[in-house]
Chains A and B, each alone.
Chain A
């Protein structure tokens, strides 16, 4: 769980230790009862075989009992060693040294891994050396290691977008079958299952996190009677309620221009578009506007043509998304052209400017915990809006689906995973050691703990979304259902838009940001011209990296 989410839940739930222990006891009892009364086949997935263990680790240190420490991480690591012990003998890896490269964000990530793996080291006899990186240094360090053939780590914590750079070059070790059985991959949420984590049918990734964009909106705007009355007069006849399609988002955004924010009394604004680049991450926000237009349910591809890597970023769907942004630029706060996604979420939306944004989980968690947030009690969540029609790229026409609006939640960044490098493959003992460490970190029971306590990771298994379990543990049910529910709906959506895991994907995003900035500043004649400029720059990157190989890897990443 992200730190802020944890704090938010604590504040929202006003938990006391006694409540928590009561909750834990109930959870254990409920789990035990479910198992006995309904039989294995009918048991909820989360209860699994380790209900008592799960209840036990959730008591470390106890929800609401302060931030976990290294001692707690070690305890959790020790308790969750069971699956490793089934396949590894005590002292089996004596003399083996492994190097683990990961992040040190917020004193989490590697710091937790150290604690979790300490009991593993003690049991197996292996030793782990650590390379801690700041987020900003991560990409450069990884790319340079790859390009200069100086991969000096055996295990890496890595985001799925980099899979093309690593697994696509054969630098990663293929996951052995015994690891698959330990980590229970069937429990992963829909989009984290293959092809994510796989290349050419081989599995490489132990997931430890999930990521996607969801839609956050201000509930007070939609509870406001004045707005409702004005919408009845000025609107299109639809009820005044949170928009479910981008067409409605556009209408609401235009409608709100010139009105006053019910909370702050300042100018009201609709959807906030971050118009400034953010080291490549800013492009995810155009994607979130475009996926409902561009991701057809019958076509796994939406950003490039899998046959030849021709960009789709200048097709009608993306041009419409760019045009949407341009159409509402005049309704945005002043200086919006200089607002990056961070500004949009934390300095604007949470501070009471604007009524709708797309963002990862942090906005939900910061809403009530951040000192600068004023929207804690008036924020709602759902998966990204859909579209009345969807662009069929192959047919070259807009289609209206019989099933209703097309929805395609953007799985922006996909989430962190643990990967083992191929350099351990030449030493079977080292290889087994590395994979058992990765399996330990991605274990099902341990992941319950990381989803419930500050860890830097989001829930990513179906077993993490059992709201009853959260409630029994003492969390606020309404918030969990709303906030985590929006994530769960996105993760398991059958038409989720998953980004291409090809080499250099952030290069494409970065150059797109530069061209979009020019387009938004009026330096191109139209949305189409802006999109064409992006497409041209993408073609150059593809040619530079190598088109044939990119095609091959793109197809592999799509599972084609």
Chain B
């Protein structure tokens, strides 16, 4: 009585993916280069936002894959390929990080030796915040991620042919090892790239805060792609509303989680009112930044919460598609809000420039090309996974 009529035949993704990907990439890259010549500082800060966004999507996707393995989840098995393809961003990070390392002087206050010498607090942080150790960390973290991406991905793709259950077991072990390492690396990545932009400021929850956004970003891209592919007929008829509901519910859960973490961080700093902490929020309340701060609450929490609250809307493909694009924008806004007020020219308030619009275009191009490249000649569904049948039969 099972739905045993499942027969997967390989179907090429449309060539328009590649076409648009390259278009976005070239236009984005061209404008980005122009932006560098127009206003280097603004461009590099924007580029950092993009870099953090790509780390969110790539690393978050790998986390989603690992999460499926360690929790022994079955509903998400048919879609595991999507985050697997997306985590292909990780090897690219080695190239993407280069401009940031070259222009580190524009980004990081603490790279200026003469400033550090006069500032006892920065002097105290020097054993951690110095360029050598920074570069070592960046390289080590990216290498670790790539290692796990490669190991887990290799087993998963091999299973398509061998249908060997041992590979699932191996991946469960790998994932279990990966998750604690992920927790540590993502924390220090967020401290390095985002928190140390304002080297005087500190918050113990910051790693968790970035993590919550990361999962939202990765989950949104996956949801967006799944719903889109379903609409284009790549998944039907195996996918039921219950699968979509799971995506909606997870998104809803993580939207709440983000709000919880963000509120906890804000409330504690606001309440204790210690000058060495509050200035960070005050900068983001300076001039027009206050609009961004209010907007962040609305965009990142209130709207998605209201949209996803009711049960039917969690499984409505249209709403899911809308909200996943919305949440991607929200995460981008979140990163923008974290990064940009540290720019020396924007300390007192935001002013508009076309440069801010360029880098997301480049990002979309990169994600599309990565997805196209890694999905080429690969099954869109892990056909050899022992849990696949369970996943397809999934009902609430």
Do A and B make up one complex?
A: no
Query: Chain B interface (Cβ within 8 Å of chain A)?
Result: none
A residues bordering B, Cβ < 8 Å? none
